[in-house]
């Protein structure tokens, strides 16, 4: 069983170099399970459905008594920090054809060096159609300066100029095709058909199980595609019940969530309102329903790093493979309240999985998540949880197999 689950995690990670690829992959799974696609049509009262908007997705299973039992929501984000290709990217320097990139979110920049990189994204065509693409082979590389030309690098640390030092080289031929020509070949479109390109780099190295006991998963984008996997697979496996079960996956968390499809936008609220309306719930009934609802916001946590234990509060630092972490912050960087924490603890005990508690050091402020945004927008009691991981925001991160499977089981217990 857990072998199957691990294979399904790896397959999702390898299929999803961008948020739109992830949404395409997950919607295909939902369609296989007879969820109805309401992305371009009015919601009807079917058993289950979904709305995909660019790199974001809301999917649900209707409950039998939503007005009384509310919505049970699991939220996560689809985007990860990285390097995006600029609109006029082509350059030629000292024998290399190069691409200009823009930094998205806050990646660990050094982690993008000396990797075999692919390019993935989508094009918008003159017809209005959108076409996804990804390179099959590795096509680009950002090379680190040799140690002989940067003698103090190991003592002083690597210093990268964000504008000068991150351009990948992607060919050396005098007459190489432009980036636009290459994208046209990848998408089998003509240059004249392509109006806009949205592209980013990704590590072509596949996701893998590592460790002498096979207890870790290493991959790009574990933050937060690991939680997306746990959320959607929990929804697919859960039985429908009294409450309406909802999974909301948002793009743009890494850049603040304020966008048309981000958690601070109207996507979740509008979806819930429509789901309630087709179940015959009035506007006032809907507001009442929200107060009976709850949300688990799943986003990875910092596991205690064996080489840097001083960076953690060791009484509140999650240990890898000891269970998903309940994330608390009294300054409301996390949305967890006493009641929502109790709800997650109950879900873990129902699923018979362990959980841990994460609070950051007082002199090391934590990042934020979509949890407080959802709680603020909808007034729904929300708990922030996450799988402990190392190397957060690296091009290749690592988390524990047991933690991820435990999170999935806890989410399923919560939805049920
Ligand atoms: Zn995250």
User: If you measure from the C-alpha of residue 254 to the centroid of ligand 1, how many angstroms do you get, rounded to a whole number?
Assistant: 7
pLDDT tens per residue, range 199-208: 999 999 999 9
Does 415 have pLDDT greater than 80?
A: yes
- Residue 363 pLDDT grade (very low, low, confident, very high; cuts 50, 70, 90): confident
User: Which of 123-137, 254-268, 323-337 is modeled with the greatest confidence?
Assistant: 123-137
User: If you measure from the C-alpha of residue 151 to the centroid of ligand 1, how many angstroms do you get, rounded to a whole number?
Assistant: 35
Which residues, other chains included, contact 165 with Cβ-Cβ below 8 Å and sequence gap of 6+? 142
User: If you measure from the C-alpha of residue 80 to the centroid of ligand 1, how many angstroms do you get, rounded to a whole number?
Assistant: 7
User: If you measure from the C-alpha of residue 30 to the centroid of ligand 1, how many angstroms do you get, rounded to a whole number?
Assistant: 23
Least confident of 41-50, 272-281, 325-334, 366-375: 366-375
User: If you measure from the C-alpha of residue 369 to the centroid of ligand 1, how many angstroms do you get, rounded to a whole number?
Assistant: 7
Percentage of residues in the chain having pLDDT higher than 70: 100
Does 120 have pLDDT greater than 90?
A: yes
User: If you measure from the C-alpha of residue 298 to the centroid of ligand 1, how many angstroms do you get, rounded to a whole number?
Assistant: 8
User: If you measure from the C-alpha of residue 10 to the centroid of ligand 1, how many angstroms do you get, rounded to a whole number?
Assistant: 18
Determine the Cα–Cα distance for residues 74 and 414; give it in Å rounded to an integer: 9
User: If you measure from the C-alpha of residue 221 to the centroid of ligand 1, how many angstroms do you get, rounded to a whole number?
Assistant: 9
Percentage of residues in the chain having pLDDT higher than 90: 88
Does 368 have pLDDT greater than 80?
A: no
User: If you measure from the C-alpha of residue 106 to the centroid of ligand 1, how many angstroms do you get, rounded to a whole number?
Assistant: 11
pLDDT tens per residue, range 6-16: 999 999 999 99
User: If you measure from the C-alpha of residue 78 to the centroid of ligand 1, how many angstroms do you get, rounded to a whole number?
Assistant: 9
Is pTM beyond 0.85? Reply is yes
- Return the pLDDT at 15: 98
pLDDT tens per residue, range 234-274: 999 999 999 999 999 999 999 989 898 998 899 999 999 99
User: If you measure from the C-alpha of residue 211 to the centroid of ligand 1, how many angstroms do you get, rounded to a whole number?
Assistant: 24
Mean pLDDT of the chain: 95
User: If you measure from the C-alpha of residue 288 to the centroid of ligand 1, how many angstroms do you get, rounded to a whole number?
Assistant: 30
User: If you measure from the C-alpha of residue 185 to the centroid of ligand 1, how many angstroms do you get, rounded to a whole number?
Assistant: 34
User: If you measure from the C-alpha of residue 179 to the centroid of ligand 1, how many angstroms do you get, rounded to a whole number?
Assistant: 30
Contact in structure between 327 and 274 (CB atoms under 8 Å): no
- Return the pLDDT at 315: 87
Does 365 have pLDDT greater than 90?
A: no
Does 45 have pLDDT greater than 90?
A: no
Protein residues with C-beta less than 5 angstroms from the ion ligand 1? 223-224, 299
Which residues, other chains included, contact 177 with Cβ-Cβ below 8 Å and sequence gap of 6+? 185
User: If you measure from the C-alpha of residue 219 to the centroid of ligand 1, how many angstroms do you get, rounded to a whole number?
Assistant: 14
- Residue 300 pLDDT grade (very low, low, confident, very high; cuts 50, 70, 90): very high
Does 27 have pLDDT greater than 80?
A: yes
User: If you measure from the C-alpha of residue 41 to the centroid of ligand 1, how many angstroms do you get, rounded to a whole number?
Assistant: 31
User: If you measure from the C-alpha of residue 159 to the centroid of ligand 1, how many angstroms do you get, rounded to a whole number?
Assistant: 25
Which residues, other chains included, contact 75 with Cβ-Cβ below 8 Å and sequence gap of 6+? 231, 247, 248, 249, 250, 263, 268, 295, 296, 297, 298, 370, 371, 374
- Return the pLDDT at 1: 63
Determine the Cα–Cα distance for residues 376 and 382; give it in Å rounded to an integer: 10
Comparison of pLDDT for 360 and 103, the residue scoring more: 103
User: If you measure from the C-alpha of residue 300 to the centroid of ligand 1, how many angstroms do you get, rounded to a whole number?
Assistant: 6
User: If you measure from the C-alpha of residue 77 to the centroid of ligand 1, how many angstroms do you get, rounded to a whole number?
Assistant: 7
User: If you measure from the C-alpha of residue 90 to the centroid of ligand 1, how many angstroms do you get, rounded to a whole number?
Assistant: 31
User: If you measure from the C-alpha of residue 215 to the centroid of ligand 1, how many angstroms do you get, rounded to a whole number?
Assistant: 21
Alpha helices in 40-113 (DSSP H): 66-69
User: If you measure from the C-alpha of residue 188 to the centroid of ligand 1, how many angstroms do you get, rounded to a whole number?
Assistant: 34
As beta bridge partners, residue 288 has: none
Half-sphere exposure (CA, 13 Å, Cβ side) for 56? 23
User: If you measure from the C-alpha of residue 226 to the centroid of ligand 1, how many angstroms do you get, rounded to a whole number?
Assistant: 10
- Give the number of other CB atoms < 10 A from CB of residue 240: 16
User: If you measure from the C-alpha of residue 223 to the centroid of ligand 1, how many angstroms do you get, rounded to a whole number?
Assistant: 5
The token pair that represents 47 in the structure block? 């058993």
- Return the pLDDT at 331: 83
């Amino acid at each position: 069983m857990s072998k199957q689950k691990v294979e399904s995690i790896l397959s999702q990670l390898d299929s999803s170099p961008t948020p739109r690829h992830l949404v395409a992959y997950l919607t295909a799974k939902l369609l296989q399970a007879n969820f109805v696609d309401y992305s371009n049509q009015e919601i009807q009262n079917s058993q289950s459905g979904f709305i995909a908007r660019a790199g974001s997705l809301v999917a649900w299973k209707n409950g039998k008594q939503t007005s009384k039992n509310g919505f049970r929501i699991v939220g996560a984000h689809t985007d990860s920090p990285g390097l995006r290709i600029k609109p006029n990217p082509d350059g030629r320097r000292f024998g290399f054809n190069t691409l200009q990139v823009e930094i998205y979110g806050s990646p660990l920049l050094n982690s993008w060096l000396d990797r075999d990189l692919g390019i993935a994204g989508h094009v918008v065509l003159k017809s209005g159609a959108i076409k996804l693409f990804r390179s099959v082979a590795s096509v680009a590389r950002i090379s680190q300066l040799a140690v002989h030309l940067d003698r103090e690098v190991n003592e002083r640390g690597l210093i990268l100029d964000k504008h000068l030092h991150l351009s990948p080289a992607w060919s050396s031929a005098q007459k190489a095709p432009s980036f636009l020509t290459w994208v046209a070949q990848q998408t089998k479109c003509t240059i004249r058909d392509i109006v806009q390109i949205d592209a980013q780099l990704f590590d072509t190295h596949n996701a893998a199980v590592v460790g002498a006991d096979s207890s870790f998963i290493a991959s790009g984008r574990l933050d937060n595609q690991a939680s997306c996997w746990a959320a959607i697979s929990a929804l697919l496996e859960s039985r429908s019940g009294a409450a309406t079960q909802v999974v909301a996956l948002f793009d743009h968390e890494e850049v603040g969530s304020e966008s048309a499809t981000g958690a601070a936008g109207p996507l979740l609220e509008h979806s819930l309102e429509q789901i309630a309306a087709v179940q015959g719930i009035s506007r006032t009934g809907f507001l009442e329903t929200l107060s009976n609802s709850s949300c688990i916001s799943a986003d990875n946590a910092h596991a205690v790093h064996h080489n840097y234990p001083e960076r953690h509060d060791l009484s509140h630092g999650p240990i890898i493979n000891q269970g998903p972490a309940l994330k608390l912050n009294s300054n409301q960087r996390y949305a967890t309240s006493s009641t929502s924490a109790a709800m997650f603890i109950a879900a873990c005990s129902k699923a018979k999985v362990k959980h841990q508690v994460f609070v950051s050091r007082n002199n090391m402020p934590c990042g934020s998540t979509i949890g407080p945004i959802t709680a603020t927008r909808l007034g729904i009691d929300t708990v922030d949880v996450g799988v402990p991981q190392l190397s957060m925001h690296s091009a290749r991160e690592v988390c524990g197999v047991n933690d991820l499977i435990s999170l999935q089981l806890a989410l399923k217990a919560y939805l049920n």
